[in-house]
Amino acid sequence: MSELPPALEEAITFDERGLVLAVAQQHDSGEVLMVAWMNRESLAETLANGQVCYWSRSRGKLWRKGETSGQTQKLVDLLVDCDGDSLLLRVDQTGVACHTGRRSCFYQRVAEDGSLEETLAVETDPETLYGG
Amino acid sequence: MSELPPALEEAITFDERGLVLAVAQQHDSGEVLMVAWMNRESLAETLANGQVCYWSRSRGKLWRKGETSGQTQKLVDLLVDCDGDSLLLRVDQTGVACHTGRRSCFYQRVAEDGSLEETLAVETDPETLYGG
């Protein structure tokens, strides 16, 4: 289950925790949705199922994106960077990627005066996503 | 010099090494160019100059992107993610972002059979970028 294709195993440099960084991007619009981590098992599952699965560092377990919220990510393309320590997941995001109910986790923009302004509105109430 | 605006200092969670992850994206085309790390000093310099400066973990020093190669990144927008451990730099990339001479570091695509195929050609000979 956690076997990777040999070419991938060779290309990816997992860190001392056995993790590699993953950037998720909406495949057609180009929006950067989120950044998370994968281990061999989550990556193998993602490739097998076509549904993105990360590794949750805080929970110490597989994080099948959207399992609770329904906001899944379908894998469209997987790319590996030049030094093999980052992945780019081109995905088709159902609904919102962020647990705050926003499309992307990157919704805080640094303004000229150094303050933060919100660039994305909440599309779905987190209460709806995660139950009351 | 390494002072950050208070709102940013509050929003960003630097890790135990004092680093935060940075994803660079071409601001108009949406191409994800590279992933690197920043510390307070490199981020403060980036905000002050408008030219992207990372922290090189391998060299243990500031990495002024393009200082040697001329392939600089002008900062267009800086975004912070929901939990403050990743930044999205929307940039205007001069030339190529990758040290291999390709536009983006993400040029290896995982094919159906698990092999890797190159999706981007070398635009500039690395010899030209880094001297002979």
The 3-class secondary structure across A58-121, one letter per residue, is CCCEEEECCCCCCCCEEEEEEEEECCCCEEEEEEEECCCCCCCCCCCCEEEEECCCCCEEECCC
Mean per-residue pLDDT, B61-73: 96
Residue B79: give the domain boundaries.
6-98
Flag whether B75 is in a domain: yes
Flag whether B78 is in a domain: yes
Question: Which chain A residues touch B46 with a CB distance below 8 Å?
Answer: none
Average pLDDT, rounded, for chain B: 96
Q: Per-residue confidence at A132, pLDDT binned at 50, 70, 90?
A: low
Summarised one tens digit per residue, pLDDT across range B107-120 is 999 999 999 999 99
Flag whether A61 is in a domain: yes
Flag whether B74 is in a domain: yes
Count Cα neighbours of B111 within 13 Å in the Cβ-side half-sphere: 8
Q: Distance, in angstroms, between B21 CA and closest chain A CA?
A: 9
Domain count along chain A? 1
**Type and span of the H or E element at B104:** none
Tokens describing residue B96: 């190529």
Q: Are A51 and A75 in contact (CB under 8 A)?
A: yes
Q: How many CB pairs under 8 A join A and B?
A: 118
Flag whether B119 is in a domain: no
Q: Is A29 on the interface with B (CB under 8 A)?
A: yes
Flag whether B31 is in a domain: yes
Query: Is pLDDT above 70 for A72?
Result: yes
d(CA A4, CA A46): 11
Flag whether B122 is in a domain: no
Cβ neighbour number for residue A99 with a 10 Å cutoff: 16
Question: Which chain A residues touch B107 with a CB distance below 8 Å?
Answer: 79, 82
Which of these, B110, B34, B32, lies nearest to A50 by C-alpha position? B110
Q: Are B98 and B129 in contact (CB under 8 A)?
A: no
- Residue B74 sits at φ, ψ, to 5 deg, of -90, 130
Flag whether A103 is in a domain: no
Q: Distance, in angstroms, between A45 CA and closest chain B CA?
A: 13
Q: Is A89 on the interface with B (CB under 8 A)?
A: no
Tokens describing residue B58: 């391998």
ipTM of the complex: 0.96
Q: Are A113 and A132 in contact (CB under 8 A)?
A: no
Cβ neighbour number for residue B16 with a 10 Å cutoff: 5
Q: Is B43 helix (H, G, I), strand (E, B) or coil?
A: helix
Q: Per-residue confidence at A131, pLDDT binned at 50, 70, 90?
A: confident
User: What pLDDT was estimated at residue A50?
Assistant: 97
d(CA B58, CA B37): 11
Q: Distance, in angstroms, between B55 CA and closest chain A CA?
A: 16
**A28: domain CATH number?**
3.10.20.810
Tokens describing residue A109: 């923009």
